[in-house]
Amino acid sequence: MGKITIFIILLLFIISGTLTDACEMDQTQYGCRILNAQCSCGYGCMSEFRYHSMNDCKLALRGSRSNKCDEPNPCKHHGICLQISQSPGFKCRCEGTRYYGPSCERPCPEPSNFSTHIPWECVVI
């Protein structure tokens, strides 16, 4: 294989991992989600992009009385809060914060302290 072919394969792998947010391909769809009290549409995991259209998302946004992301941000260290339907009603995106965990509360391990499991939020490419 040539260097260009390897580069293209690597680039496609990185892009597909970014777009799908580390879920299986059969668990992805085009849809909308509530992000920072606004509807945002795109391609990603069904658990996050749960609304089938912008209209469905806007209806849910208007009817949502307890948006956990509107309260003081439950995501620490500048994590991004996503409203989801499953309990606890939000999910934190911790990528790039140097933290991981349900609320971006756990510091990423130092390179010298890597165990057999490295949280994917801590991988920097």
**Stretch 79-91: mean pLDDT:** 83
Query: Is 40 in the same domain as 4?
Result: yes
Measured CA to CA in angstroms, residue 48 lies from 6, 19, 54 at distances of 31, 12, 14
With contact defined as beta carbons under 8 Å apart, do 109 and 118 qualify? yes
Q: Single out the residue in 15, 49, 65 at which a domain terminates.
A: 65
Length of the chain: 125
**Stretch 15-42: mean pLDDT:** 76
Query: Is 79 in the same domain as 51?
Result: no
**DSSP single-letter state for residue 10:** H
**What is the number of structural domains in the chain?**
2
Q: Single out the residue in 65, 95, 115 at which a domain terminates.
A: 65
Amino acid at 83: Q
Residue 124 pLDDT greater than 80, yes or no:
no
pLDDT of 20: 39
User: Whole domain around residue 58: which residue ranges?
Assistant: 1-65
Task: Calculate the average pLDDT of the chain.
Answer: 79
Rounded CA separation 79/3 (Å) = 36
Q: Single out the residue in 35, 65, 95 at which a domain terminates.
A: 65
